[in-house]
Each structure stands twice: as structure tokens, then as C-alpha cells.
């Protein structure tokens, strides 16, 4: 069966024809040309299709001979196990049997595509690591981990990012805890997964967002619980720490943990043993720990909000991610990357960045970092497919955010309206190459308003 050169074949193994069709339709609608769905009634049919070694196998394991048997038959292909038994126990069994991931049924389209992309990126990262090892060139720059990226999912070739890539490679050789710091949107989870991949990607990588878990459930999510430990605990459940056994546990936004859970995390780090909620015994786990925060944990310690002893356990090895405004030409690379990516997803022509648009991108502050520039390029793909993009359009797509050179708002007082208004208008004119008409269009006001206000400013100068 022929596949598009840039697509990854996804073989769907499910005894239910309706389920096979539904999953294939989800992949076709949501993934554009990145994946090609192939529905198979059984394992023999999948084998007869001569599945490429880069393929992904999406398999219902409830009616199969077991995940381990499936993984052996599909040697060299990444298997995502699915089961209507969406329990932690089923997930643990599947991962230990060699599955690349586990999905409880029914599977939502958004989650399905995210997991497929994660497995695809992991496959390419492993291939890159193997190629680098075979080349026996330890000082050579890391090879790209995925199509369209420069290293393990990152886009960027600036000196700041090359230093990050080198640091990730070094950190990946150690099993010591790593603290990843950086502003929101700088790619802390991508960095954590890259560190994990350097040590061998064919192991669990479990993510816990500490800021997103209700306080009452946080301990159970991380350490698990036994049946009857609290209201609603109907079954024994392994926590994230156990699920990560043999691999990496990534605790994102660790600075958000409540003091009580900080104490339990410290005990876990000291002992290397997990004790489920409601259970008297503990069990050892072998995991690599990576933490991330956008807070200054040293300041949190000084303020009494984060335990000093836990900080010293967390802050062993460190990776600091630079904000986008400090990455120079990477801004243009990222803009082009996201324009290409989202235009391909929507099946439209790629908007073309003009020279003044590139200059405007470099001047903007990007307080939301990579996530913010991705959103801005997404808007341009929707609003201006195939259209030449100028500076005014870039400003409009970024919600008129402040430029990198603008002074941050002071917390000591309120800036007078006429002063802030003048800053906004003058910045828009500069970003639009001195064109008052284009600046007015970007700001949503009449050009005559800008002429009148500038006359007023000159008279008052």
C-alpha cells in the first residue's frame, strides 16, 4: 500500500469495524497529511501489509493475546495500546509489555492526535540518537530529532539555543535530578522529554502538572492509592511515580505544590520508595526525576513557600531556557515554521512574511514566548492564507503587544493614559515602516486621528 512520502502510516487493529472506521476518520480529519490511517481486522492482516518500520500500530488489546505478543509480532513498530479497561493497572501492564503508549477507550480525537505525534517524535528522536552514536562523533552538533525542527522538537539555531542543546545532551548522560527553569511558553516539557530521550526513549515518560491537580488529589496522582483510602477510591491505583518505573517522571510547575505534599515528595526523593495513600508498606522505584518551574524557587524558599531541603534535592542539575526575545533570528525561524505547519494542517497557501514583517517580529516582546508566536502565526494562517504579510498585519495578529524595547509597566504607579497612548501609536508607526495609514489600520483607528494627535504632541513638545 503506497503512503505519502511525508506521512506516517498508522495501522488500526480493532475487532470492531465501527471502531476502526471511527478512529481512521478521526486521524484523517485532524492530522492532515501527517498520518495515513489503515484499518486492519486482525494482526495477520497488518503483517501481510508489510508495515514499514517507522509505522505506528494503534491496537485494541482487550481481544488480543496480550500486549507482549502484539509487540513481538510488530517488532520495530511503535505500538499504542487501547483498552476499554481504562485503569492504571491496564496501562502499567501495557507499558511494561513494551507498548509505546496507552489510551483508554473511547479515545477523543484531540488526545489521539497528540499521542500519535508524541510517538512519532519519539521514534525520530531514537533514530537520531542511534545515528549520532553510530557516527562516533561526541563533539558533533546534535542531529534534528523531528522533521521541521532543529533538535528534539525545538526550532532554533541561535547561540542561546545551541547552548541549550549541548546542555541537554550532557544532562541526559546523568541520572541525577534536573530542574528546568524558564518563562511560560519557553518549552520546558519539550526540554524534559529531550533529556529523557538522551538516556533512551524506549522507557516510560510520565508527566504530572502540579498546578493542574486539585490539592486533595495530588498525593494520589503522584504516589497512588489503595482501594478505600478515601471516598471514590474504588480500586487500587498506581501513581505517576510507579508508572514511570525504569523511565522518567516529569513534575511540571513543582513550585505550585502545597507544603504537605512537598514533605512527602522530599521523603520520596530521600528514600526512592513509593507509599500509596492508605497503604502501610512502601515499594522501591527506579526513575529519573525532572522538575520544571517558571518561579524563582530560591525566592520561594526565602519567602517560606518552598522547603529549603526540598529545593536542594530538586536543584541538583539545572537547565535554564532563554526567553524568545533573547534568541535573535530564531524568532523568524519559528514564525516560518509555524506558518508552514498550520497552513499544511488547514490545507491552505502559506502566508509570506515581508521584510518589514520580519523586522516587526524581532521588535515585539513575546511575553508568552514560543506559545505566543505560534498563536500569532495561527491567526495569520486563518486570516491571510497565501497573502504577503506586512508589519501592520503582524502587529494585529499579536494583539498589539509591547515591543521588546518598551519599558515594562511599573508596579509603583499607573502610567498616564496620554503617555501610554502615544507609546502605542508611535510604536505602531515604527513597526509599519513609518506608514501612518498602515499603523492606523493595524490599530483600528482613522489615520486622521493619528495626524491630529501627532500635531498636538509637537505643539506640546
**Pair 330, 157: CB distance under 8 Å:** yes
45 with 192, same domain: the answer is no
**Pair 257, 404 in one domain:** no
Same structural domain, 310 and 345: no
Q: Are residues 267 and 379 in the same domain?
A: no
DSSP state of 364: B
Q: What is the DSSP letter of 102?
A: E
Residue 296 shares a structural domain with residue 416: no
Q: Report the CATH number that the domain containing residue 417 is assigned in CATH.
A: 1.10.8.60
State the Cα–Cα distance between residues 38 and 42, nearest whole angstrom. 12
Q: Report how far residue 284's alpha carbon sits from residue 288's, in angstroms, rounded to the nearest whole number.
A: 13
Please state, in angstroms and rounded to a whole number, the distance separating the CA atoms of residues 369 and 83.
37
CATH number of the domain that residue 280 is part of: 3.40.50.300
H-helix segments, 173-251: 188-198, 215-223, 240-243
Please tell me the distance from the alpha carbon of residue 228 to that of residue 87, in angstroms, as a whole number. Answer: 16
Radius of gyration of the chain (CA): 25
Please tell me the predicted confidence (pLDDT) of residue 167.
93
Instruction: Answer for the pair 208, 250: CB distance below 8 angstroms, yes or no.
Output: yes
Contacts of 448 (CB under 8 A, 6+ apart): none
- Give the pTM: 0.57
Contact 32, 340 (CB under 8 A): no
Instruction: Tell whether 347 and 295 lie within a shared domain.
Output: no
| Cβ atoms within 10 Å of 287's Cβ, excluding its own | 22
**Based on the domain organization, do 426 and 379 belong to the same domain?**
yes
The boundaries of the domain holding residue 209 are: 152-320
Q: What CA–CA distance (Å, rounded) separates 384 from 352?
A: 9
Residue corresponding to grid cell 526513575: 287
The answer to whether residue 1 is domain-embedded is: no
> Which of residues 103, 119, 135 is at a domain's end?
119
CATH of the domain at 13: 3.40.50.2300
Whether residue 143 lies inside any domain: the answer is no
If the chain, 461 residues long, is cut into consecutive pieces of 10 residues, what is the mean pLDDT of each piece? 58 81 80 72 60 71 64 70 72 71 80 81 59 43 52 90 93 92 92 89 85 79 79 77 90 90 90 85 89 91 92 93 90 92 91 85 86 92 89 78 43 58 76 74 76 74 54
Residues 224 and 311 in one domain: yes
Tell me whether residue 137 is in a domain: no
Residues 340 and 440 in one domain: yes
Residue 2 falls inside a structural domain: no
Q: What is the DSSP string of 75-93?
A: TTSEEEEEES---HHHHHH
Pull the grid cell for residue 297.
Answer: 524557587
Closest-CA residue to 119 (of 28, 51, 193): 193
pLDDT of 412 reads 44
Q: Of 275, 298, 320, which residue sits at a domain end? A: 320
pLDDT of residue 54: 63
Q: What is the pLDDT of residue 32?
A: 60
Count how many domains the chain has. Answer: 3
Q: What is the pLDDT of residue 81?
A: 82
**Are 79 and 178 in the same domain?**
no
Residues 288, 357: one domain? no
Q: How far apart are CA 244 and CA 223, in angstroms?
A: 11
pLDDT score recorded for residue 461: 54
CA angle at residue 117 from 114 to 120, to 5 degrees?
150
Same domain, 384 and 359: yes
Domain end among 320, 340, 370? 320
Amino acid at each position: 500500500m503506497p503512503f505519502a512520502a511525508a506521512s506516517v502510516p498508522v495501522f488500526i487493529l480493532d475487532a470492531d469495524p465501527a471502531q476502526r472506521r471511527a478512529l481512521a476518520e478521526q486521524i484523517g480529519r485532524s492530522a492532515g497529511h501527517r498520518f495515513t490511517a489503515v484499518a486492519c481486522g486482525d494482526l495477520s492482516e497488518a503483517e501481510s501489509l508489510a508495515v514499514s518500520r517507522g509505522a505506528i500500530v494503534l491496537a485494541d488489546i482487550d481481544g488480543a493475546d496480550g500486549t507482549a505478543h502484539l509487540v513481538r509480532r510488530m517488532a520495530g513498530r511503535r505500538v499504542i495500546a487501547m483498552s476499554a479497561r481504562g485503569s492504571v493497572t491496564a496501562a502499567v501492564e501495557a507499558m511494561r509489555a513494551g507498548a509505546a503508549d496507552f489510551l483508554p477507550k473511547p479515545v477523543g480525537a484531540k488526545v489521539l492526535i497528540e499521542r500519535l505525534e508524541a510517538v512519532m517524535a519519539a521514534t525520530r528522536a531514537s533514530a537520531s540518537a542511534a545515528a549520532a552514536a553510530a557516527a562516533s562523533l561526541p563533539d558533533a552538533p546534535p542531529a534534528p530529532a523531528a522533521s521541521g525542527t532543529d533538535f528534539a522538537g525545538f526550532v532554533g539555531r541561535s547561540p542561546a539555543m545551541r547552548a541549550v542543546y549541548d546542555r541537554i545532551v550532557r544532562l541526559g548522560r546523568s541520572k541525577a535530578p534536573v530542574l528546568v527553569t524558564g518563562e511560560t511558553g519557553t518549552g520546558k516539557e519539550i526540554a524534559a522529554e529531550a533529556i529523557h530521550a538522551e538516556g533512551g526513549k524506549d522507557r516510560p515518560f510520565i508527566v504530572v502538572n502540579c498546578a493542574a491537580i486539585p490539592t486533595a488529589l495530588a498525593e494520589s496522582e503522584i504516589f497512588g492509592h489503595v482501594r478505600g483510602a478515601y471516598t471514590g477510591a474504588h480500586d487500587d491505583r498506581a501513581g505517576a511515580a510507579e508508572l514511570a518505573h525504569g523511565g522518567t517522571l516529569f513534575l511540571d510547575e513543582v513550585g505550585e505544590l502545597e507544603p504537605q505534599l512537598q514533605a512527602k515528595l522530599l521523603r520520596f526523593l530521600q528514600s526512592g520508595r513509593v507509599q500509596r495513600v492508605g497503604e502501610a508498606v512502601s515499594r522501591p522505584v527506579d526513575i529519573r526525576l525532572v522538575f520544571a518551574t517558571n518561579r524563582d524557587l530560591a525566592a520561594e524558599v526565602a519567602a517560606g513557600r518552598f522547603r529549603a531541603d526540598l529545593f536542594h534535592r530538586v536543584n541538583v542539575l539545572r537547565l535554564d531556557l532563554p526567553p524568545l526575545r533573547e534568541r535573535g533570528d530564531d524568532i523568524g525561524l519559528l514564525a516560518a515554521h509555524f506558518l508552514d505547519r498550520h497552513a499544511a494542517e488547514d490545507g491552505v497557501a502559506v502566508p509570506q512574511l515581508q521584510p518589514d514583517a520580519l523586522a516587526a517580529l524581532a521588535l515585539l516582546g513575546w511575553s508568552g514566548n514560543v506559545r505566543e508566536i505560534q498563536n500569532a502565526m495561527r491567526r495569520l494562517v486563518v486570516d491571510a492564507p497565501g497573502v504577503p504579510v506586512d508589519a501592520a498585519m503582524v502587529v494585529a495578529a499579536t494583539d498589539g503587544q509591547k515591543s521588546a524595547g518598551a519599558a515594562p509597566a511599573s508596579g509603583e504607579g499607573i502610567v498616564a493614559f496620554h503617555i501610554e497612548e502615544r507609546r502605542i501609536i508611535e510604536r505602531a508607526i515604527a513597526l509599519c515602516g513609518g506608514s501612518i495609514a498602515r499603523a492606523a489600520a493595524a490599530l483600528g483607528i482613522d489615520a486622521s486621528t493619528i495626524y491630529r494627535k501627532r500635531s498636538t504632541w509637537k505643539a506640546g513638545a
